[in-house]
Amino acid sequence: METALPMGRWLRERLAHVTGPQLAGPLVPVVALLAAFVIGAMMLLALGANPLEGYQALFEGAFGDVDALADTALKSMPLLLVGVGICIAFRASVINIGGEGQMIAGAIVSTLVALGCGDLPRLILVPLVLIGGLVGGAIWGAIPGALKAYSGVNEILSTIMLNIVAVQLMNFLLRDLIMDPYEKDHGRLPQTQRLSENSDLPLLPGGTRLHIGILVAVGMAGLAYVLLWRTSLGYRIRAVGHSGAASRYAGMPVKRTIVAALTFSGAMCGLAGAILVFGSESHRFVTDGSSVGFTGSAGFNGIVTALFGGLHPLWTIPSSFFFGGLQFGANAMQRAVQVPAALIVGLNGLVVVFVVSSDRMRRAVSESWGQGREIASERSQQRDSDQTQVETREEAGS
């Protein structure tokens, strides 16, 4: 691994030389992925499995036929929404580790909506529960946002702590206040009753398990793109992400922008949580006591898909589909070569490490997609006027 890392950087420089910076940016994640897969192959070999056979089963299981593609799409939905949320937060240089908690918060609020207004017609209730998810996640994102902006609390820590709070809140509610009355008397399974049929997400035509949650997720990626690149708030988010100090000089409301970025980020994660509940087979909100049991670690893996998509909401769509495929196909790999699906979680971690392993690499990624051109020119102006300012910022921002 130590040798693979400098190699990635060397490769990027080679690639930039050959293709120019425009293409080198998008290639970085691909090279990172290949490196992770090579290490994965070595692990498979070490565990006595044939890597080719394993990877073949993985990709056939994920993308082999229509049903596999539909399941892969379902698996990628939470990754996409969380990934889009991560794009918004990371663009503001806010590190949101709270995707897990925000998903749970969204699921809780949307479930309360469905329990409270179960009689509403489907045409109203379905949008209503989705909005509930957005609101729940937004609240759980706004709290660390406000703590960071107004009290200087590091958002990494506050989001981690709020993950713990959300898990316990979920466990409490599902074992007590909103527990299925039948389970309360008999089974003691921590879950809600079957939620109103009017809140079931409509299935898409085609006879697969695909529901409209997929379309909602893709639509949100489009909206996030518009937010980040076509609105003044999005411009502020990106400017604050590049330099809080410069944005403040330019008269931008930096604190409010940070809160807004984390609120939007949380809302996306909360929506993912709501879709997980109302798009589930059981149409219940179920807990096994841990956050992974409900989210499938999407709150963390969404970071992988967002980074892999170059922190661009639209590129996060194919990226999430791909990683959703890896997650779903891992089960087929497990059956074929008897290597546990947990390998894919480990490989996801390696992809993250490889993608962020060079700040120069990262800079190339963001600049090659044209974002920050205006900010780059602003930066060069600033460099002329105030050399020391730039130095501190670059040290801080790198």
Partner 1 sequence: MSDFFTMASLVFVVGSGIRLATPFLLAGLGETIGQRSGVLNLGVDGVMLLGAFGAYWTILETRSPVAGILVGIAVGLAMGLVYGVITVTMRAEQGISGIGIFLFGLGISDLLFQKKVGTPIPIRGFGDLHVPVLADIPKVGEMFFQHSVLVYVAFLLVPAVAFLLNRTTFGLNVRAVGENPAAADSLGVSVARVRYTTILLANGLAGLAGAVLAAELGIFQQNLTNGQGFIAIALVYFGAWRPVGVMGGALLFGMVSATVLQWKTLGLVSGAASSLTAMAPAVLTILALVVISRTVGQPSALTRPFDRGH
Nearer to partner 1 by Cβ, of 120 and 156: the residue is 156
Residue 233 beta carbon to partner 1: minimum distance, rounded to whole angstroms? 24
Binding site for partner 1 (CB under 8 A): 1-2, 5-6, 9, 43, 47, 95, 97, 147, 151-154, 156-158, 160-165, 168-169, 171-172, 175-176, 179, 290, 292, 297, 300-301, 303-304, 307, 339-340, 342-353, 356-359, 362, 391, 394-396, 398
Nearer to partner 1 by Cβ, of 151 and 232: the residue is 151
Nearer to partner 1 by Cβ, of 277 and 333: the residue is 333
Question: What is the DSSP secondary-structure string of 123-182?
Answer: HHHHHHHHHHHHHHHHHHHHHHHHHHHHH---HHHHHHHHHHHHHHHHHHHHHTTTS-HH
> Which residues sit opposite 286 in a β-bridge?
191
Nearer to partner 1 by Cβ, of 232 and 388: the residue is 388
Distance in angstroms (rounded) separating the CA atoms of residues 106 and 315: 24
Distance in angstroms (rounded) separating the CA atoms of residues 341 and 329: 9
Distance in angstroms (rounded) separating the CA atoms of residues 294 and 82: 14
Nearer to partner 1 by Cβ, of 172 and 229: the residue is 172
Residue 342 beta carbon to partner 1: minimum distance, rounded to whole angstroms? 4
The count of other CB atoms within 10 Å of the CB of residue 156 is: 15
Residue 352 beta carbon to partner 1: minimum distance, rounded to whole angstroms? 3
Nearer to partner 1 by Cβ, of 48 and 251: the residue is 48
Using CB atoms within 10 Å of the CB of residue 209, give its burial: 0 to 12 exposed, 13 to 18 middle, 19+ buried. Answer: middle
Q: For residue 346, what are the contacts with CB-CB under 8 A and spacing of at least 6? A: 40, 43
Residue 101 beta carbon to partner 1: minimum distance, rounded to whole angstroms? 10
Query: What are the b/e assignments for 53-82, b being 16+ CB within 10 Å?
Result: ebbbbbbebbeeeeebbbbbbbbbbbbbbb
Nearer to partner 1 by Cβ, of 126 and 337: the residue is 337
Nearer to partner 1 by Cβ, of 243 and 297: the residue is 297
Q: At what angle do helices 213-230 and 313-337 cross, to 10 degrees?
A: 140
DSSP code of residue 254: H
Q: What share of the chain is helix, strand, coil (3-state, %, to 5)?
A: 75, 0, 20
C-alpha separations of 9 from 27, 30, 311 in Å: 12, 13, 19
- State the sign of the Cα–Cα–Cα–Cα dihedral 224, 225, 226, 230: positive
Distance in angstroms (rounded) separating the CA atoms of residues 356 and 274: 30
Residue 387 beta carbon to partner 1: minimum distance, rounded to whole angstroms? 11
Residue 119 beta carbon to partner 1: minimum distance, rounded to whole angstroms? 27
Residue 259 beta carbon to partner 1: minimum distance, rounded to whole angstroms? 16
Residue 70 beta carbon to partner 1: minimum distance, rounded to whole angstroms? 25
Residue 219 beta carbon to partner 1: minimum distance, rounded to whole angstroms? 27
The three-point CA angle 145-149-152 to 5° equals 110
Query: Which amino acid, one-letter code, is at 150?
Result: Y
Nearer to partner 1 by Cβ, of 76 and 198: the residue is 76
